[in-house]
Amino acid sequence: MDLATLEGRITRLEDIEAIKQLKARYCEICDDMHNPNRINGLFVEDAIWESPDFGKAVGHAEIRALFSKFQTMFSFSQHNITNPIIEVSGDRATGIWYIQGPWTHADGDREIWMTARYDDDYVRIDNEWKYQHLRASVRMVADR
C-alpha cells in the first residue's frame, strides 16, 4: 500500500471519529437539559434542525429557541446512540443513527421510552465538522 492510500484511509477514519464525537457532544448537550446556550456551537450558522414530531428550526436563533422549548417539554432525557453509518466525501458527510432512551415529560413527570432515527448532513468548516442538517424521526414511544 502506498503512502497516499494510507494517508487517505487514516483521514477517512479521523473524519468518521470526529463526526462520532460531534454526535456524542450533541447528545451530551441534549442530556444537559437541552442546553440552548451550548447547542449552536455544533451547527453552522444556516443549519437546519427538523423533525415531523418536534418542528423545524433554521439558523442559530431558531435552533436555540427550539432547545429552549425542549427545556419546558422534558425534565430528563438520556440519548443512547447506536449503529452509525457515516459516509464521508471531502468536506461533506452524511450519517444515520438510531437512538433509544428514557425521557420524562416536565408536565406531570410522565416517563416514556422513545426510539428515533437521525439522518444528518455534516460539513467541515475550518477543519471542524458541524451539522448542516439534522433530521430526527420518532419511531416508537412507550410509557414506562
**pLDDT tens digits for 25-44?**
999 999 999 999 999 999 99
Q: If we measure between CA atoms, which residue out of 19, 50, 56 comes closest to residue 130?
A: 19
Amino acid at 110: R
Of 1-10, 28-37, 88-97, least confident by mean pLDDT is 1-10
Q: Does position 107 have pLDDT exceeding 90, yes or no?
A: no
Average pLDDT over residues 92-114: 93
For residues 42 and 130, what is the distance between their CA atoms, to the nearest angstrom? Answer: 5
CB 63 within 8 A of CB 46: no
**pLDDT tens digits for 125-142?**
999 999 999 999 999 999
Q: Does position 143 have pLDDT exceeding 90, yes or no?
A: no
Looking at domain 3-143, its CATH class is: alpha beta
∠ CA 69-71-72, nearest 5°, is 70
Q: Does position 109 have pLDDT exceeding 80, yes or no?
A: no
Q: What is the pTM of this model?
A: 0.95
Query: What 3-state DSSP class applies to 78?
Result: coil
pLDDT value for 121? 99
